[in-house]
Structure 1
Amino acid sequence: MPFNDERPASMSSGEDQGSDVESSSERCDSSDLEYSRESFTSDCSSKHCTPSSSPPKTLTLDEVMESARDLSNLSFAHEIIVNRNFHLETDSLPQDSLWKVVRDNVHKAFWDILESELNDDPPEYGHAIRLLEEIREILLSFLNPGANRMRTQIMEVLDMDLIRQQAENDAVDIQGLASYIITTMGKMCAPVRDEEIKKLRESTDNMVTLFREIFRVLDLMKADMVNFTIDNLRPVLQRQSVEYERAKFQSVLDKTHSALDHTTLWIKSALEALLLAAIPTEQTEGQGKGQRAVPGPFQVLNAAFLSILISDYDKSPLPETWVTDETRLREIQWQLRQSQAVNEVLLIVYSTFGGPIQGLPSLSDRLKRMTSVLLDGMHSPHFNLEEALEGVSAQICCELNKSLTERNYPALTPALQATLRGQICSITQKDNPIRTLVEDRVQQYFQALICDPKPQAKLEQVPAGLTAIKPELALMGAKFISLVNYNKTIYGPFYADIIRKLMFSSNPPAANPPQDTTQDSVTSN
């Protein structure tokens, strides 16, 4: 269309692949992935290793816009690096959205004016010339720097000064220009668009409809060009991913002194929680009786990473260092909540009935699949969990009765069915013992992965009581640990600086600040 100020093409991340993050982080030095010295010392040789923040100052509009562009570039580059399925799609707006209504009306007005002008006697070519001029610029944008011959030909055929002169004399060959444009598009387009070009060549529509279709195909070709560039850029970004993302974030931090506020609160909350849970130690050399053990920097950061899984991102803002992975974190969190609910239901069923349904893997699989389907989408704000669990209870009772009667066991009594329904529906309560047990053990599982230098070996080692969701936990664990490893490789120096200030500042969370041994502690790890 002749309106280049439309919203940009929408981003489509496709299906996230945890291995994408892992493959990128594996290219980094393995010591980085194991809380390396470099990540937690302030004397790195790398230019961007030691984070710094600018003092508070009043920002100009240009500085704010530049910072926003840096953040946008960082998010865009990160998506390319971690998700090999990432690509851009032509804009697809919701059918009933206000933006779509406005855009469609503006476009319709342009095409109506164009049709009216071409049908005048003699024809008017004002809008047609602007149309051809934009098509020329789009075609030129597709050319490689060395395509001088094609560039010259386009400029000669779509010579706007000549076309304006022809228009004044009513001698513009619109049909011939359209034919040349379609032929040129056929030379430039990707093979996947050959069928679209063929339809344009065979079109018998009027000129206005033909040009509308030409612009539609040009939009597809623009998306193809961008995606081709992304595919070629991805290996380069992956080789330089850590330095690039760290430098971009430092650039944002230099312009916006508050760019680490949420990250600082996130780490501070983890530190305070550890101090609150610390057991008072006996009097030791250099410490008074009853002092609380001070957590080490790695313990603080591990606790912070674990809290990401259970945080409510709608109520508590995500740390700035995690915003580029917000979609992936939310998906892991949603999948985890659903898997936990499925596990809780199955634990209740097997603890209630025991022997008659033990050792039946086919029954267990059916109950699991059925429960998963009925709880699908439970993260949605409009999802009624209690109602869904009522349906789960009814279906489970039907499956159990069918299995029991097939094996000559008595069917469930109405009282037993009511008891089962009540127990299953009670998992909506936060203090439900089954729910508390499952959530605690899930956290134990992820904590073990976060703290282990070689977490891949522990993906299949789930705590007792979580066997029913072992495959799902292993998949989510692999994705989450890959994100954590990549995140701390990039932002480790920033985290180290924050932890150092929190633990050894004049007003640390602890009542009695310890000596600054962070660097020695990290080095020993």
Structure 2
Amino acid sequence: MPADSVSRMDSNGSAGESNAPENLLGTSPGASSLRSRTESESSDKMARFVLPSMDGSPPKVLTLHEVGDVLKNIQNMELVHEIAINPEFKFEPYEPPENSLERRIKDIMHKAFWDVLRSQLNENPPCYDHAIQLLTEIKDCFPQIISQNNSRALQRINEILDIDVIKRQAEEGVLDFKAYANFVIQVMAKSCAPARDELVRQLTEIEDVVDLFKNILETMALMKLDMVNYLLDYARNDIMANSVEYEKEKFKEYLEYYKFGFPATENWLKNSCTHDANNVPSSPEQTISNAYMELMDWDESKEFPEVLSIDKERILKLGQRAKRICTCAGVISICSGVPIISQRSENRVALAKQIEIILQGTANEKELLDSIENVWLQVKTVINEYLQKESQPVMDANTEEMLKSQIMQVGKKDSPVRTLMWKRFQTYFRLALRSRAGLPPPPPGYADFKDELEAYCTALKRVIAYNHSVFGEYFMKLLTQQRFTNNEVGTSESASAASVQEQSAAAGGKTNAVATDGKVEGQ
């Protein structure tokens, strides 16, 4: 990594600056400043955006600056959230999609630049305008791939790539463009990550000077990415340690602008409240736990909780992953009814792995159901091969038909076997969610999928735990207010009912008295 490369250039330099992580969070990738097309810069202050009201209160008017702050905060929060919740997160180079307009424009402009450079260098005498521009860009790149603490290396680069000197050399016709390329390659060789050594070495084999500089820029772009990811790894622990408080603070700032509630979140929590035999509602803690359990198999016909929207795609993908594991376990449980599978653990493990591979690419229930036919064909082939290997007769038609029918049913969400395996899965995850001392042992039928099961539970548990740390107080506040409101309404209704009963009783007493009096009088 670049840490190693820094020490290779300057033994006095340190691996990185202590404030490096802060620079990572300044702006998020893709963030752009919001500006309106106005006659003067000062008129920016007069631009207004209206945040609509949802509860009948007057809409809130935001300045352009405030809108920019809101969007920037949300973008930063998403970046920090992803870094904290995804241990494998890293920055990747962006390339426009193939055959897209953006890609065509990029290719045309890049080709035009290199064509102009080649044309200028081939003039007699050579024109170095583009060459000097290129060396300027390369010089500006080095501070991004070499630590600022490595001052001696940066000073040496500034001395050699002195643009004023280069311009005088060009004017006098003594500029050796290839010599500067060799110097740049030497610096790159000393400052690149070990993984880029071979790529930098290959630069020395390029004879054409234009192709050489083109490949130099491409390699430097990768080195900049290496440095960014190094800084990310350097800052990850600090980010994770402070990200919860950071997101809570940003969420509070967001609520300052948006105070109209989150209907989908409130419905999600409200519908997760259960009642016991005495019609006593579950506690707020239990209600929240029930709500988290619902994320295992989210009904996509319902609106997703707004506050979890950052993780919506991740949660839905994890839900499909859970269904794949459950289906695999169901198929293996059925296949275990065949002695050659149940009595040979190595056969069962091998078959389980093959089933897992077949279902790996399924992204929804339809694809899962469509893949069950392939699962059955694989099961049939493998079992017959195992039987033949032990000189036993292959499955007869009745056995095949019965086994096929049972396996095909597992592709349906409401099949008995799938339902049973899903209940076991839910029980396992509920235990995992409560446990603070590692994960419990796999439930019956899931032993052959232990690694995948634990990976799934760890991933979803991480998402839930993190979001609960950020929004748990907000959830408790919603449920507490809801319960208080319900109790208040219930108390009010009870009081009203009691009052009506008292008034009725009193009125009834008077009526009886009048009737009695009348009766007495009549007598």
Q: TM-score, normalised by structure 2?
A: 0.72
Is the CA contact (8 Å cut-off) linking 1:114 and 1:208 kept in structure 2?
A: yes
CA distance in 2, matches of 1:199, 1:242: 45
CA distance in 2, matches of 1:442, 1:221: 45
Aligned partner letter, 1:437: L
| 1:66-85 map, 5 Å | 66-85=69-88
CA distance in 1, matches of 2:488, 2:442: 35
Question: Secondary structure in 2 aligned to 1:99?
Answer: helix
CA distance in 1, matches of 2:192, 2:450: 47
1:305 correspondence with 2:283: no
* Larger relative helix fraction: 2
| 1:223-242 map, 5 Å | 223-242=225-244
Q: Which residue of 1 aligns with 2:213?
A: 211
CA distance in 2, matches of 1:405, 1:171: 81
Q: Which residue of 2 aligns with 1:269?
A: 268
Q: Which residue of 2 aligns with 1:90?
A: 93
Q: Could you tell me how far 1:298 is from its partner in structure 2?
A: 0.6
Alignment equivalent of 1:176, drawn from 170, 175, 179? 179
- The alignment of Structure 1 onto Structure 2 pairs a total of residues equal to 437
Q: Which residue of 2 aligns with 1:373?
A: 357
Is the CA contact (8 Å cut-off) linking 1:427 and 1:435 kept in structure 2?
A: yes
Q: Which residue of 2 aligns with 1:491?
A: 471
Change beyond 3 A, Cα 1:233–1:414:
same
Alignment equivalent of 1:460, drawn from 434, 438, 441? 441
Is the CA contact (8 Å cut-off) linking 2:117 and 2:131 kept in structure 1?
A: yes
Q: Which residue of 2 aligns with 1:396?
A: 379
1:296 correspondence with 2:295: no
Is the CA contact (8 Å cut-off) linking 1:271 and 1:295 kept in structure 2?
A: no
Change beyond 3 A, Cα 1:180–1:317:
farther
CA distance in 2, matches of 1:467, 1:175: 63
1:361 correspondence with 2:341: no
> What does the per-residue CA deviation read over 1:369-418, in whole Å, with 9 as the maximum and x for residues that have no partner?
2322222211269x744442222222323333444566676543323322
Is the CA contact (8 Å cut-off) linking 2:322 and 2:456 kept in structure 1?
A: yes
Q: Could you tell me how far 1:134 is from its partner in structure 2?
A: 1.5
| 1:90-489 map, 5 Å | 90-92=93-95, 94-200=97-203, 202-257=204-259, 261=262, 265-275=264-274, 278-279=275-276, 281=278, 292-311=279-298, 318-326=304-312, 328-350=314-336, 353=337, 358-379=342-363, 384-404=367-387, 411-450=394-433, 452=434, 454-456=435-437, 459-460=440-441, 462=443, 464=444, 466-467=446-447, 469-489=449-469
Q: Name which one, 1 or 2, has greater alpha-carbon Rg.
A: 2
Report 1 or 2 for greater relative contact order, CA contacts < 8 Å, sequence distance ≥ 6.
1
CA distance in 1, matches of 2:131, 2:299: 53
Aligned partner letter, 1:337: K
Aligned partner letter, 2:457: G
Question: Secondary structure in 1 aligned to 2:245?
Answer: helix
Greater Cα offset, 491-500 or 324-333: 324-333
Aligned partner letter, 1:423: Q
Aligned partner letter, 1:487: N
Question: Secondary structure in 1 aligned to 2:125?
Answer: coil
CA distance in 2, matches of 1:380, 1:430: 11
CA distance in 2, matches of 1:207, 1:405: 66
CA distance in 1, matches of 2:395, 2:386: 11
Is the CA contact (8 Å cut-off) linking 1:267 and 1:301 kept in structure 2?
A: no
CA distance in 2, matches of 1:148, 1:394: 65
Runs of 5+ consecutive residues of structure 1 not aligned to the other structure: 1-53, 282-291, 515-525
| 1:513-524 map, 5 Å | none
Is the CA contact (8 Å cut-off) linking 1:63 and 1:255 kept in structure 2?
A: no
CA distance in 1, matches of 2:342, 2:198: 58
Question: Secondary structure in 2 aligned to 1:88?
Answer: coil
Is the CA contact (8 Å cut-off) linking 1:64 and 1:255 kept in structure 2?
A: no
Change beyond 3 A, Cα 1:97–1:501:
farther
CA distance in 1, matches of 2:173, 2:382: 79
Q: Could you tell me how far 1:228 is from its partner in structure 2?
A: 1.9
Q: Could you tell me how far 1:344 is from its partner in structure 2?
A: 1.9
Q: Could you tell me how far 1:58 is from its partner in structure 2?
A: 3.3
Is the CA contact (8 Å cut-off) linking 1:268 and 1:502 kept in structure 2?
A: no
Aligned-residue identity in percent:
29
Aligned partner letter, 1:375: L
Aligned partner letter, 1:242: V
Aligned partner letter, 1:193: R
Q: Could you tell me how far 1:162 is from its partner in structure 2?
A: 4.5
Question: Secondary structure in 2 aligned to 1:378?
Answer: coil
Question: Secondary structure in 2 aligned to 1:176?
Answer: helix
Aligned partner letter, 1:240: N
CA distance in 1, matches of 2:447, 2:206: 64
Aligned partner letter, 2:430: Q
Is the CA contact (8 Å cut-off) linking 2:351 and 2:382 kept in structure 1?
A: yes
Q: Could you tell me how far 1:132 is from its partner in structure 2?
A: 2.0
Runs of 5+ consecutive residues of structure 2 not aligned to the other structure: 1-56, 493-523
Greater Cα offset, 302-311 or 241-250: 241-250
Greater Cα offset, 54-63 or 95-104: 54-63
Aligned partner letter, 2:184: I
CA distance in 1, matches of 2:342, 2:361: 29
Aligned partner letter, 2:268: S
Q: Which residue of 2 aligns with 1:19?
A: none
Change beyond 3 A, Cα 1:385–1:244:
closer
Q: Which residue of 1 aligns with 2:46?
A: none
CA distance in 2, matches of 1:62, 1:327: 30
Change beyond 3 A, Cα 1:513–1:147:
farther
Q: Which residue of 2 aligns with 1:57?
A: 60
